[in-house]
Amino acid sequence: MKKKVYITRQIPESGVDLLKGKYRVEIFPENRPMPGDLLLQKVEDCDALVCLISDSIDEKIIASAKKLKIVANFAVGYNNIDIAAAKKYGIMATNTPGVLTNATAEIAFAMLIVLTRKIMEADRFTRTGRFSGWDPLLLLGDELRGKTLGIIGMGRIGQEMAMKCKAFGMNLVYHNRRPVDQKTEKRLSASYASLNKLLHLSDAISIHTPLNHETYHLVNEQTFEEMKTGTYLINTSRGEVMDEKALVHALKAGKIKGAGLDVYEFEPEISRELMGMSNVVLLPHIGSATKETRSRMSEMVAKNVIAALEGKVPDNLIP
């Protein structure tokens, strides 16, 4: 009998095809997050589970699996998986690092330039018939060149964001659990700063940390207080890294001049107040949403599953 792989949502075919050649593959057929109680049933008899960040893989799910070898997350972030429980039950967990680095940094950079050059506002202005000719004082934005970007979380995506902003002439400071090596700092022309110093120095801040107990609400009322008045803020990591209520206050008070969000604290719920603000860009968690990247992610999860089911250690095993 062939081994069974369950996939909680349709993903690009390239990876699914790799799995179909070897295993029985079942996919949740609906275009919505899979209900938890159904997942609990489905996981019981499968050998591998391919899941999304919207699936909460908690101890209950893990404990109900009778022959599960691997939980392969279709994402780089894995805060949706109880890694300790997986370890306890001898189940491997993997993610998809690297392949989405550029796509996510592109989205972070896109939001930065959209905000600073008032692109959304300008588009609305034009569409609503208000363009009556060139105006020397119309829609003046802030130039990126010469401004300071603070990067919180200098992993792969933070570094790629640094490269893009360096190319636009920005000065770079970063905060990370540990400073990156000197060669990387030199390549990126970025200098390490304490979180407080970064908040004081930055004209724009971009968040690239994973979500864990150390980074939950890392950006909060207090940290907004420390920022310069008029800072731009970009978040493409996880919504829970920022206290969304505190962000709304900071936007209302003008402390934050504009925010670019791809993720939300209570995703997919978004604070009503944010919805009504014109200096906020709200994206539906599309950081990695390019055809190239999503196909590579699909192949990567498939290769992780195949390695685990062949008794090997997958390349992207979460330690």
Residues labelled as active-site residues: 238, 267, 285
What minimum distance in Å lies between the beta carbon of 240 and ligand GLV? Answer: 12
Interface residue list for ligand GLV (CB under 6 A): 53, 75-77, 100, 287-288
Q: Crossing angle for the helix pair 156-167 and 101-116, nearest 10 degrees?
A: 50
How far apart are CB 102 and ligand GLV at their closest, in Å?
Answer: 13
Nearer to ligand GLV, 15 or 77 (CB): 77
Nearer to ligand GLV among residue 158 and residue 287 (C-beta): 287
> CA 25, CA 284: separation in Å to the nearest integer?
28
Task: Tell me how far CA of residue 305 lies from CA of 25, 40, 62, 92, 318, in angstroms.
Answer: 12, 19, 16, 10, 13
Residue 15 or 287 having the CB closest to ligand GLV: 287
CB 267 within 8 Å of CB 289: no
Cβ at position 287, least distance to ligand GLV in Å: 6
* Contact of 273 with 297, CB cutoff 8 Å: no
Which amino acid would we find at residue 304?
Answer: N
Give exposure, 143-172, as e/b (b: 16+ Cβ within 10 Å): ebeebbbbbbbbbbbbbbbbbbbbeeebbb
Which structure tokens are listed for 269?
């719920």
Reference 261, options 232, 290, 304, 300; nearest CA is 232
Give the shortest CB-13-to-ligand GLV separation in angstroms: 19
End-to-end distance of the chain based on CA atoms, in angstroms?
A: 31
Residues 6+ away with beta carbon under 8 Å from 130: none
Structure tokens at 63: 């404990």
Which C-beta is closer to ligand GLV: that of 14 or that of 191?
Answer: 14
Minimum gap (Å) between residue 302 Cβ and ligand GLV: 16
Phi and psi at 29, nearest 5°, equal -80, -10
Closer Cβ to ligand GLV, 100 or 152, answer by number: 100
Give one DSSP letter per residue of 235-297, joined into a string.
E-S-GGGB-HHHHHHHHHTTSEEEEEES--TTTT---HHHHT-TTEEE--S-TT-SHHHHHHH
**Token pair for 240:** 């829970």
